[in-house]
Amino acid sequence: QSVLTQPPSVSAAPGQKVTISCSGSNSNIGDNYVSWYQQLPGTAPKLVIQDTDKRPSGIPDRFSGSKSGTSATLDITALQTGDEADYYCGTWDSSLSASVFGTGTKVTVL
């Protein structure tokens, strides 16, 4: 069972914004950088945010990340149909000495 909690689903119309939360604890999000991964249907995950708020090369600025205390957030603005996917947060857990992922959030474009 994951130690990072995400909402099962979020949705919005094209052009709108969605926000995905990732709730953890002091031993993971509270103490480490957070990454976010996009998994399109039937494909491998892809890194979209690293080190909490940095976009890898090639990721549009519509994707942004932030963190406050033991929670992290991924925002996707100007939503497109191609953004429909599952999104996972991830970080290191210092107590478990293990990498951990969130429960995953399905983004639906209405």
Partner 1 sequence: QVQLVQSGAEVKKPGASVKVSCRTSGYTFTSYGVSWVRQAPGQGLEWMGWISAYFDNRKYSQKFQGRVTMTTDTSTSTAYMELRGLRSDDTAVYYCTRDLFSRIFDPWGQGTLVTVSS
**Which stretches of the chain bind partner 1, using CB under 8 A?**
2, 32-35, 37, 44-47, 50-51, 56, 88, 90-92, 96-104
Q: Is residue 44 within 8 Å of residue 98, measured between CB atoms?
A: no
Q: How far is CA 56 from CA 14, 59, 61, 87, 96, in A?
A: 24, 6, 10, 16, 27
Q: What is d(CA 29, CA 32) in angstroms, rounded to the nearest whole number?
A: 5
**Cβ at position 23, least distance to partner 1 in Å:** 15
Residue 32 carries which DSSP code?
Answer: S
4 or 109, CB closer to partner 1? Answer: 4
Closer residue to partner 1 (CB): 13 or 42: 42
Q: Which is nearer to partner 1, 46 or 62 (CB)?
A: 46
Whole-number minimum distance, CB 15 to partner 1, in Å? 28
